[in-house]
Amino acid sequence: MIKTFRGLLADEGQERIRLSTIKGKVGYKIVKFELMDNAPGAASRESIVKIYKTVQTTSTQDVNFTDSNLLAAGYLESHSSPAYLDSQQIIFDREIFNQDIYITHIDVDANNPVNYYIELEVIPLDDAGAEYTTLKDMRQ
């Protein structure tokens, strides 16, 4: 089964996607992560969107793949002039998690919001898998 989430993130915004359950017997894995300009062609932007396993105190432009709480990062560059091509880069981990996730956004070029779309594969966990995944998420 696939669960989808979508939304519009303000510049320097953060949203919580509620996934945790009482027993933690449901795991999730990112299978798709996409970004889309909220007003194509209207303004230039350089948006950086990241998905974390823990709440973040600020939204930053730094992407550090050694951060064990970082699940995904996306970069969207678009221009108001049709003379320049838009570009997008998306990288995500195939890690299984069973707690809430947090998505952050910053536009380093202006202060535009950005649309996001996430697909998560739902993975049933047995007791041992639920305990391991929950403890792993809590330790990080």
pLDDT one-digit tens code per residue, 27-51: 999 999 999 988 777 777 899 999 9
Higher pLDDT, 21 or 130: 21
The one-letter amino acid code at 10 reads A
Question: Which CATH fold topology does 2-139 show?
Answer: Jelly Rolls (2.60.120)
Determine contact, residues 19/29, Cβ cutoff 8 Å.
Answer: no
pLDDT the model gives residue 68: 92
**Pairwise CA distance, residues 72 & 137, whole Å:** 15
**Pairwise CA distance, residues 29 & 94, whole Å:** 6
Determine contact, residues 121/4, Cβ cutoff 8 Å.
Answer: no
Q: What is the mean pLDDT of residues 14-26?
A: 88
Q: Which two tokens stand for residue 75?
A: 């970069």
- For the chain, the structural domain boundaries read 2-139
pLDDT the model gives residue 131: 61
pTM, whole model, 2 decimals?
Answer: 0.87
Q: What is the mean pLDDT of residues 53-78?
A: 92
